[in-house]
Amino acid sequence: MTTAVSPTGTRTPAGTDAAPDVSPRAASSGPASTSRRIASIDIVRGVVMVLMAIDHVRVFSGVPAGGPTPGVFFTRWVTHFCAPAFIFLAGTAAFLYGEKVRDRGALARFLLTRGVWLVLLELTVMRFGWTFNFDYAHYALAGVIWVIGWCMILMAGLVYLPLGAVGTIGVAIIALHNITDGFAFQLGRAASESSVSWLWQLLYFGGSISLGGGEDGAQFAVLYSIIPWIGVMAAGYAFGRVMQLDATRRRRTCFALGGGATLLFLVLRGFNLYGDPRPWGDAARRAQAQRQAAERSRQPTADSRQPSGGQPTAGQAPRGQPNAGSAPSAGNAAPRRTPPPSTPAFLQFLGTNKYPASLLFLLMTLGPTILVLPLLERARGPVARVLTVFGRVPFFYYVLHIPLIHLIFVGLSIARFGSVIPWMTANHPMFMPPAPPGYTYSLTALYAITVLAVAILYFPCRWFAELKSRRSDRWLSYL
């Protein structure tokens, strides 16, 4: 997303293999090591955009968000790389932009104005793209654009700290927030009984916040809480220094950081040591029994509201939510759902918690992301060019892709059923009812529709990338 992950001055013609300049046109000074854009960042962001399309096609196809079968599970699992990579690289691009303008005040204003813009866009334009209805009084969504916006607003203050302090804060948030797993039930109950329970949900627990009128009144659905994502962006900001190193040192550092994060994930997850509230294997069976006992004990007083109800299978959200795991309210924050024993052990191993994103979820996704960056620096060919186009204008892509996918399914609804079925204008992606009987698409159809949507998006994205290479109008930085 240009406003979220790249500075205003991204000005390079699309369709070329050369790494483009990352700096604003107005900024000509800065270290030589950042005078050239790292091509692998654009390619990674382009891959993220394609994976994101898979997940959002899945929402409108009626396919569940994960499950015990490998096909459904991995259709969801591969998309887990999207948010971590996107938010981490947003921080990296913010650092590089700050190095170009050499003015912390200008960088802070950049982050603040873009952050406010993203929050407003999520609550208005993107909400309509998801639902195709105007029932704003009863449903609002705090999705990934929302949390990127708030993280940028917070980063506008953090950039005044030394770089080492920003990185330390980011890593500490990522690494330490799972300390709460040991007493999550007590913490969740205390938060739900607090007069500011809504603030706890915004910061960490997520879930549905009633804005008045009870369960039938206005609901604010918090899918992405601010913690730990602000930590991811802050860590990405500090990682920007790595991208200033010469090519050899940069590759060596990326291999060390990415490989180390991946190895740490394998050790911590393999032995169920720390970092995720959803264990796997025998530990999962024990946790399942404990969760059921705890739920029975708190049943009389707990707020049992869920977007659509129902117990998920491994890696699957409650119906009505688009993603694996769940975004529970503060009162339902813990114990969090664990994969049931019937799920294959390997899928349990990979089924880390995304809402809120656990340490192991972030190690599992960010480790390989950092590891692959140096491998893609010399990538060439038609696939790399296409991905680079998407990676240069990711926010423009994002704004277009949700309504486009929605429109495709509206057309398919007319073709299949003779009309636009009501489910097409439900409150996607969190509060829609189950798909109608006979509606759900096959995985083959899901991937075919994804290819169609991505192919259509290539042409406006290429046009916009070329437009940005020729012009430097201020409004272009908001898309």
Q: What is the DSSP string of 232-274?
A: HHHHHHHHTTGGGS-HHHHHHHHHHHHHHHHHHHHHHHHTT-S
Structure tokens at 458: 């290539």
Torsion of CA 144, 145, 150, 156, to 10 degrees: 120
**Domain housing 174:** 2-478
Beta carbons within 8 Å of 450's beta carbon, 6+ residues apart: 50, 53, 54, 57
Of 258, 255, 278, nearest in space to 268 by CA: 278
How far is 166 from 159, CA to CA, in rounded Å? 7
pLDDT of 321: 39
Cβ pair 232, 144 in contact under 8 A: no
How far is 229 from 235, CA to CA, in rounded Å? 10
Looking at the structure of the chain, the number of domains it has is 1
How far is 143 from 166, CA to CA, in rounded Å? 24
Task: For the chain, 479 residues long, give each residue's pLDDT as a single digit of tens.
Answer: 433 333 333 333 333 333 333 333 333 333 434 435 678 999 999 999 999 999 999 999 999 998 889 999 999 999 999 999 999 999 999 999 999 899 999 999 999 999 999 999 999 999 999 999 999 988 999 999 999 999 999 999 999 999 999 999 999 999 999 999 988 888 888 888 888 999 999 999 999 998 877 677 788 999 999 999 999 999 999 999 999 999 999 999 999 999 999 999 999 999 999 999 999 998 888 877 877 777 777 665 444 434 433 333 334 443 333 443 344 444 444 445 555 447 899 999 999 999 999 999 999 999 999 999 999 998 999 999 999 999 999 999 999 999 999 999 999 999 999 999 999 999 999 999 999 999 999 999 999 999 999 999 999 999 999 998 888 777 777 77
Cβ pair 201, 187 in contact under 8 A: no
Name residue 19's amino acid: A
Give the length of the chain.
Answer: 479
pLDDT of 298: 65
Cβ pair 421, 413 in contact under 8 A: yes
Beta carbons within 8 Å of 145's beta carbon, 6+ residues apart: 1, 4, 118, 119, 121, 122, 126, 398
Name residue 226's amino acid: I
pTM for the predicted model, two decimal places: 0.83
How far is 131 from 133, CA to CA, in rounded Å? 5
Name residue 454's amino acid: V
**Phi, psi values for residue 140, rounded to 5°:** -135, 150
How far is 238 from 253, CA to CA, in rounded Å? 13
How far is 271 from 268, CA to CA, in rounded Å? 6
Label the pairing between strands 207-210 and 139-142.
unpaired
Identify the H or E element spanning 207.
strand 207-210
Give whole-number Cα distances, 345 to 193, 282, 352, 374, in Å: 37, 9, 12, 32
pLDDT of 394: 94
Residues forming a β-bridge with 354 = 357
How far is 366 from 136, CA to CA, in rounded Å? 35
How far is 299 from 313, CA to CA, in rounded Å? 21
Cβ pair 54, 48 in contact under 8 A: no
How far is 55 from 71, CA to CA, in rounded Å? 13
pLDDT of 37: 64
Label the pairing between strands 219-222 and 207-210.
antiparallel
